[in-house]
Each structure stands twice: as C-alpha cells, then as structure tokens.
C-alpha cells in the first residue's frame, strides 16, 4: 500500500481532465454487444475500467488495447468462456454485467473485493425471483446465476442505484418481445441514466424515455459497431474546480460544456457558492474566489459530494448537504469518512443520517488522515491540503487507482508538493 505526504501549496496550471469513467464503462459494454469492430478512443485504464474490459472478455468478446484506445470485436452470439467474473471493487461492472450474463443462459459466478462484496443487489434479486432465475448468494459475493432473462415489465424504485436501470437498458433491447422499466418513485441520479441512453443511441439502440417514469424498450434490436471518443469526466474535474477555487488558477481541458453527465452540476454548485468559473467549448478556467455556504442537494450528483464538502469546510458560513444517504453504500460510507477525516484536519463537519452540516473556516491545520480505501476520499483530502497550515499525510493513497491512477502526477503538474512511499 502507498502513503503520501503533501506540503501545503496553492495550485496553478493546466490539467487535461481524464475521460469519463461512467461513459467508459458504457462504451466498452456497448462495443462488446455490437456485431463487428468498434473503437473506443480516449480510454483511461483505471482499475474499474480494466475490470469491465476483462469481464466482457469472458463472454467471448475480443479486445485489443492500442495506447489510449480499445478495439473491440463483438461476437455474433455471447457465450460464457470463463464461469467466474472478477469485478474487483467496481459496482458498475457488477451491476451492468449481471443482466448480460443472463443473456447466455449459462452458469456464471460474480466475485468482488472490498466493500463491493456486500453492496446491495436487492433490485436484481426481486427480478430473479419473479422470473424463476436460479441464484446462490449468502449475503455477500460471490453471486452465482443460472437462467435467462425474459422480456416484460420491470418495476424499480427510483431511490436505489441507477446502475440497475442501466444494466437492464443494455440487455432488454436484445430480448424477444418488448419491455418496460417502470420507476415507482422519483428517480435519483437521472444524469447516469442519460449517459446510458446517449451511449445506446450512439450504437443504434432506441429507448423511449417517458419523463423518467417509464422506459419503453422494443425487443429484437441490434447494436451497431461504431467508433466513439470518451469525453472528459466532470466527477474528476470537480477536484480541480475546487482546487482552482481554493488555489490560484486551474485550466481544465477536454470538458464538454453540453455534456449529459450529472456531475456537471459541480459547475453550478461552485458558482452558487461564489466561485469564479469561465466555460468555453473545451476549456474551463477556474480562478481564486471567496466562497460561502449554500444548501447542496446530493440526489443527482453523489460522487462530487466529498470534494464539495472540502470546499464547504473552507467557505464562509454554513453549508448543508441533503439527500445524501446513498453515499453510505459507496466504496466507503462517504458521509462518515469525509466527516471523520476532515475533522482530523481541523474542519467543523457534523454528520447527519442523510447528509452533512459544515461550518466553514479560513484554514485547516493538517495532520494524518486515512483514505478509507476510497478513491474519492483520498483525492478530496489531497485538495484539502491546499488550505492547511501543516503537511497532510494520507494513508492508503493508492486508492486513487480505482478511477484516476495519474491523480498525484497531475497534482504535481499544477504545483502540488508531495512525496509517496510504499508500506509493507
């Protein structure tokens, strides 16, 4: 494992924002389900994306990595070549591929690591029971499946992970017969569903979205091979947007101002807090600003909450984060993690059952903190170091490799002073 020691310093410079992890998962899967050859450009091989690539190969899909691109040749028919699928710690890999495994009718076992082994799968268990799909599960992974998914009506509550909806959206168009996904309560994380619908459309699969209440899916569709370039990731840009606001000036490259990414909300939220952000076609410039507290609704953008908590901790006045209960079932309990670790640095963060209350300060003191083996906690704490009076040591900083393996190199490019070392 790695630890990192950061010497506080204001950041200034230019960052090419890494490609969207959410879109990368979806593009790799769509390419694998398409007949013929597709090329996915601007792909970052983080731990999560590598897990999805390797998992898709188990269905007989050929992939050839060429630098930051991936050539994918989808088979005419999916077939299980290896019965055990390793998802590492990637919830997207697990929840997206479960329905794909049910296209084959063959026995498949899903494995995972870390907190993924106990992350909820209840929405799928309900479907398995309704369709008489056999499964073995003893409260944690592995999950072993036997059976085929059939078309029909699928009822899902809107306050569970949108990953279930995406998993079904990938597969239902390929089944005999038409299907509907019926959302039984207001849908959270709409932005992630939009990303899925965008990718499906790019690969010639059509879904009718009826106000995010019902999704109508015609059966017997086919994915068409295509070339696709992954745009920059707003959930990763969030760290640099906060860094520029707390530091001196950060220019973020490769962000699509018209993106469907739900985490694009970071721009409006930081602006509402008093941030100074200028947006061009592919360049976003963030300058130092004196920010103030606001109310932040986390329902549609949970992944950016840890770093927004950092900004709130260093903004004038009180910030309240609401509708954030789903942060408790991520790679860590992110409400507890960010509260615990920021308070070690001298912040004033109060954890509530479904959110946070933060009373801002001018500066933090520094100290030793823990990543909780969570990439977004590790990166958020790194950004907090900008406004610390003493060094910050982050234990288990290697967690960033889950989504952004080059994070600390980029941190150094814009003036971050850090030293990494291995333990054990």
Chunked mean pLDDT (size 10), the chain, 424 residues = 94 98 98 96 96 96 94 93 95 98 97 95 97 97 97 95 96 98 94 97 98 98 97 98 97 96 97 96 94 97 98 98 95 97 98 97 98 98 98 97 97 96 77
pLDDT for the residue numbered 269: 98
pLDDT for the residue numbered 282: 79
Locate CATH 3.65.10.10 in the chain. 2-18+232-422, 21-229
Q: How far apart are CA 157 and CA 358, in angstroms?
A: 30
pLDDT for the residue numbered 133: 98
pLDDT for the residue numbered 281: 81
pLDDT for the residue numbered 12: 98
* Superfamily the domain 2-18+232-422 falls into: Enolpyruvate transferase domain (3.65.10.10)
Cβ atoms of residues 81 and 58 within 8 Å: yes
Q: How far apart are CA 106 and CA 2, in angstroms?
A: 40
Nearest to 189 by CA among 260, 245, 240, 271: 260
Burial of 77 (C-beta count, 10 Å sphere; 0-12/13-18/19+) = exposed
Q: How far apart are CA 413 and CA 276, in angstroms?
A: 22
DSSP 279-345: E-SSEEEEE----B--EEE-TT-GGGHHHHHHHHHTSBSEEEEES-GGGGGSSS-HHHHHHHHHHHT
- Please give the model's pTM, rounded to 2 decimal places: 0.94
pLDDT for the residue numbered 1: 74
DSSP 81-93: S-SEEE-TT-HHH
**In the structure encoding, which two tokens stand for residue 289, read together?**
């600003």
State in words which class domain 21-229 has.
alpha beta
pLDDT for the residue numbered 424: 59
Listed in sequence order, the residues at least 6 apart from 390 whose beta carbon sits closer than 8 Å to its beta carbon are: 8, 365, 366, 367
Residues annotated as part of the active site = 303
Nearest to 214 by CA among 276, 272, 274, 154: 154
pLDDT for the residue numbered 422: 87
């Amino acid at each position: 494992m790695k630890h990192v020691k950061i010497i506080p310093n204001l950041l200034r410079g230019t960052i090419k924002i890494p490609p969207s992890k959410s879109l990368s998962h979806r593009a790799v899967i769509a390419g694998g389900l398409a007949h013929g050859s597709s090329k996915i450009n601007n792909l970052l091989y983080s731990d999560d994306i590598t897990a999805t690539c390797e998992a898709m190969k188990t269905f007989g899909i050929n992939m050839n990595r060429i630098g930051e691109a991936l050539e994918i040749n989808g088979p005419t028919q999916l077939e299980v070549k290896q019965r055990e699928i390793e998802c590492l710690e990637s919830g997207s890999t697990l929840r997206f591929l479960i329905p794909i495994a049910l296209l084959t009718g063959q026995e498949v076992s899903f494995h995972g690591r870390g907190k993924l082994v106990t992350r909820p799968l209840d929405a799928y268990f309900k479907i398995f029971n309704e369709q008489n799909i056999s499964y073995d599960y003893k409260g944690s992974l592995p999950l072993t499946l036997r059976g085929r998914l059939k078309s029909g009506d699928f009822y899902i509550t809107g306050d569970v992970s949108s990953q279930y909806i995406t998993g079904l959206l990938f597969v239902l168009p390929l089944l005999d017969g038409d299907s509907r996904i019926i959302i039984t309560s207001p849908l959270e994380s709409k932005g992630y569903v939009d990303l899925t619908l965008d990718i499906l459309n790019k690969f010639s699969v059509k879904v009718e979205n009826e106000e995010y209440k019902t999704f109508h899916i015609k059966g017997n569709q086919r994915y068409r091979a295509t070339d696709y370039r992954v745009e920059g990731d707003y959930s990763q840009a969030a760290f640099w947007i906060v860094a520029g606001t707390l530091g001196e000036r950060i220019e973020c490259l490769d962000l699509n101002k018209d993106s469907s990414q739900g985490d694009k909300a970071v721009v409006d939220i930081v602006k509402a807090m008093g941030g100074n952000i200028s947006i061009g076609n592919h360049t976003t410039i963030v300058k130092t600003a004196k920010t103030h507290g606001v109310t932040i609704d986390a329902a549609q953008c949970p992944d950016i909450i840890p770093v927004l908590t950092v900004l709130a901790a260093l903004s004038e006045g009180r910030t309240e984060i609401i509708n954030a209960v789903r942060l408790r079932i991520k790679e860590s309990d992110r409400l507890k993690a960010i509260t615990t670790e920021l308070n070690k640095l001298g912040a004033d963060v109060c954890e509530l059952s479904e959110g946070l209350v933060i009373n801002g300060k001018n500066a933090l003191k520094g100290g030793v903190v823990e990543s909780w083996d969570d990439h977004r906690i590790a990166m958020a704490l790194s950004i907090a170091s900008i406004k610390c009076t003493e060094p910050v040591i982050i234990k288990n900083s290697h967690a960033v490799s889950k989504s952004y393996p080059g994070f600390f190199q980029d941190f150094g490019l814009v003036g971050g002073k850090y030293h990494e070392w291995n333990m054990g």
